[in-house]
A and B are shown apart, each in its own frame.
Chain A
Amino acid sequence: MDRERIIIVKNLVKKFGDFTANDNLNFEVYKGEIFGFLGANGAGKTTAMKILCGLSKPTSGEVDIAGFDIYRDTDKIRHIIGYMSQRFSLYEDLTVYENIRFFAGIYGIRGKEFRAKAEKLIAKLNMEDVAKTLVASIPLGWKQKLAFSIAMFHEPPIVFLDEPTSGVDPRTRRQFWEMIYQAAESGVTVFITTHYMDEAEYCDRVSIMDQGRIAALDTPKMLKENAGAKNMNDVFLKLVRPQKAEL
């Protein structure tokens, strides 16, 4: 397959004192795919993602995002990425509408353009009734969708989702994945970390992280074939060293 590479990571190392969080990572992400980082807590998923987003500086190694170097072109990268953290990054004491307005504003979307887009978004989310409600009082699932939509509001070609589904019930999770598929279909590259095995199945390609290293990287189908496993859970248990397997 000869597809356009949008993220290229070479020899990425991140150390916190003596602890090595990312030990020589090498991988590439293709344009328009859903790329998953699967691993236990502390496996180094979030650390790697933070480096890609420019929230953390690597100890050594090279990272290229859409042709921009993360050391030099930080400012340019910021314009082309969206980010959603596991804590949703919403202001609880602001209304739904005010949250959208604030985050749109920091990406420079305002005035007529903003109003048109915001109206469309609120309609799409079916949140007309709660637009003026404080985020604190809407259900978790709605917050999640809202956070994702806000991360996508400035139409970034790449979006980073850091465990976006933790603590959400299975039905809401499925709805959420539909939004991710929609985004991917429109050409957005989705980089997602998760510790849910079933979610890994939804990704185009999955990298399994263990103790700061990439233990395996392939499509879910190939991963299962290579490991001779029925599902991702078995793949994971086989690849990851026993003492680290508890989830």
Chain B
Amino acid sequence: MKQFLGFFRKELIHIIRDVRSLLILLLIPFLMMLIFGYAINMDLKNAGIAVMDLSGDDMTHEITDKLLSSGYFELQDVITDPGRAEELFKAGKVKEILVFEQDFARKFHSEGIAKVQILTDASDPNNANMLVNYTNGIIANYLLQQQVSQFLPLQVQSSFRYNENLESVYMFVPGLIALLVMLISTMMTSISITREKESGTMEAILVSPLKPWQIVLGKVAPYAFIALSNLAVILLMGTFVFGVPYRGSIALLLGLCVLFILMALSLGILISTISSNQLMAMMISMVGLLLPTILLSGYIFPIDNMPVWLQTISSAFPARYFITALKAVMLKGLRFMYIWKEILVIFGMMMFFLIVSIKKFKIRLD
């Protein structure tokens, strides 16, 4: 234990001496929370549109005004020549072009049907979908106002469970915890161990009477604290700045997070045992983990939407289970009973990483 404390102190000195890295490690959760809370927005805002109004009557003007006053759209251009559409899209500022047919209002009243054409730049299909949905929504609303008298026999009463106000930050908080904890923990441990290999100090420690587990524990423990402090920042900012509720047991929530941190540290140890230098450790823990953790964990893109084979691959990534369990505890307020499977999987992964590491950890540097 005393040996361990000496090790722990040395590792702390390394961290504190490197002020720049420490600052980045401590600041990044703040910054990410601010960006995800305020900057990242899945909704449409200020999308550039162009209008080609072949009719130019009151009705088309009203619809255009409605669109522009919604805040979703911003008028970039008014065109009369359909040939310009392609050029506008290619220049990139305009994402949608509305084409009102000739005699729009007259046809609406006399023929009962008026046509509007919505051209979208679908090189971004997500955005194109959203543009069409929003435009249709606004037109439908406009119609409704025109026909207040109309009776709707069927109403859909929607309620949004767990997130009544549809705040996107609800989804980001669990994802951000997973992403940052995963990256910071694996990166820090794998780098700090390979660093000693590279500088030759590892040999000096390995010839000493220290046991391998003491070496590993001494190296890993300080980073566990950094990961915990990051966790605290995200959780506190989540609730005090962004109003994300913690509906379940705080103890279960923290327990789950600690387990995930331990799993990530174990993965870091495993990476360090297979990397001969820092560059390699970094390549695996950064380049190898960054995108899969963002894309395959259900952080931004729902796993259910992916093809089945990809869902299978995603089940090899621990962040997926963590995010599912975290959402269940934090936002749904569920108890242990509901998430024991996820906890078991994360625990199993941790044990797997640890066992392989211990097998590979070279107390004798072959």
Contact = CB atoms under 8 A, between A and B. Distances in A.
A adjacent to B, CB under 8 Å: yes
Most central of B14, B203, B207, B366 by chain A CB within 10 Å: B207
A54 B208 CA distance: 10
B364 A57 contact: yes
B205 interface: yes
A167 interface: no
Nearest to A103: B204
A106 B364 contact: no
B287 interface: no
Contact of B208 (A87, A98, A106, A134): A106
Contacts of B204: 83-85, 89, 103, 151
A56 B364 contact: yes
B200 interface: yes
Contacts of A139: none
A56 B365 contact: yes
A91 B198 CA distance: 12
A224 interface: no
B207 A107 contact: no
A101 B8 CA distance: 12
Contacts of B208: 78, 103, 106-107
Interface in A6-60: 50, 53-57
Nearest to A78: B209
A92 B366 CA distance: 25
Interface string A132-170: 001000000000000000010000000010000000000
Nearest to B208: A106
Interface residues of A, number: 34
Contacts of B366: 56-57
Nearest to A105: B6
B7 interface: yes
Interface string A151-195: 100000000100000000000000000000000000000000000
A83 B14 CA distance: 23
A103 B203 CA distance: 12
Nearest to A104: B6
Interface in A106-125: 106-108, 110
14 contacts: A55-B203, A55-B365, A56-B365, A57-B364, A79-B209, A84-B204, A89-B204, A90-B201, A91-B10, A91-B199, A105-B7, A106-B209, A106-B210, A134-B17
Interface of A: 50, 53-57, 75, 78-79, 81, 83-94, 98, 101-103, 105-108, 110, 134, 151, 160
Given A79-B209, A102-B10, A108-B209, 11 more contacts: A55-B364, A85-B200, A88-B200, A89-B201, A89-B203, A91-B14, A94-B10, A101-B6, A102-B6, A105-B5, A110-B2
Give 3 nearest A-B pairs by CB, closest first.
Answer: A105-B6, A87-B200, A89-B204
